[in-house]
């Protein structure tokens, strides 16, 4: 059982020294150092994703939302979300984010979309394509196209 402050134990009084830990003084001079995040955006871009306007750091599950002026909102399940970012780091963080989005995220989305055009379709889509092609051949009364195997042989470039 904890002892009360000012209680005596074995003839000795328990005294707590005076410390001002009010919320206003504790947070007044402290700002979040985002230099590790700026470095991670540059050198570990795969640790981040962008969805619904939020930049998410996958390993820590921290989320960041940037407005048009470069101000950032932090959403985290720890004390990080209650802190402000150092003023001198705000612009470099926003620049790192815009560079990450331009040079990593947008090209990756384009590559994903391009690759999705060539994925193997499911059985229903293949069946519908076969029916459509059969209908076209029937309508034009054209014989099915066949390519001789010799035409498919690869010729080395000179």
pLDDT in tens, 98-138: 999 999 999 999 999 999 988 888 999 989 989 999 888 88
Rounded distance between C-alpha atoms, residue 25 and residue 131, angstroms: 74
Listed as ranges, residues in the chain with pLDDT below 70 are 1-29, 142-144, 151-152, 154-158
Q: Is 9 helix (H, G, I), strand (E, B) or coil?
A: strand
Surface-to-core class of residue 41, CB atoms within 10 Å of its CB (0-12 exposed, 13-18 middle, 19+ buried): buried
What angle in degrees, to the nearest 10, is found between the helix axes of 87-100 and 35-43? 10
Give the helix/strand (H/E) hosting 36: helix 35-43
What pLDDT was estimated at residue 8?
A: 52
What pLDDT was estimated at residue 86?
A: 81
Rounded distance between C-alpha atoms, residue 6 and residue 126, angstroms: 82
Rounded distance between C-alpha atoms, residue 70 and residue 56, angstroms: 16
What pLDDT was estimated at residue 150?
A: 74
Q: Are 92 and 38 in contact (CB under 8 A)?
A: yes
As beta bridge partners, residue 39 has none
């Amino acid at each position: 059982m904890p002892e009360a402050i000012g209680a005596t134990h074995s003839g000795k009084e328990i005294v707590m020294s005076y410390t001002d830990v009010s919320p206003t003084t504790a947070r007044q001079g402290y700002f979040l150092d985002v230099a590790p995040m700026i470095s991670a955006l540059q050198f570990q871009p795969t640790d981040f994703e962008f969805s619904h306007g939020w930049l998410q750091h996958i390993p820590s599950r921290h989320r960041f939302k940037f407005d048009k002026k470069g101000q950032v909102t932090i959403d985290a399940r720890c004390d990080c979300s209650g802190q402000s970012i150092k003023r001198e780091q705000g612009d470099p963080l926003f620049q790192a984010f815009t560079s990450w989005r331009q040079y990593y995220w947008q090209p990756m989305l384009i590559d994903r979309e391009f690759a999705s055009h060539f994925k193997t379709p499911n059985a229903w889509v293949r069946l519908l394509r076969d029916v459509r092609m059969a209908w076209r051949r029937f309508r034009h009364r054209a014989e099915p196209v066949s390519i001789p195997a010799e035409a498919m042989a690869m010729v080395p470039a000179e």
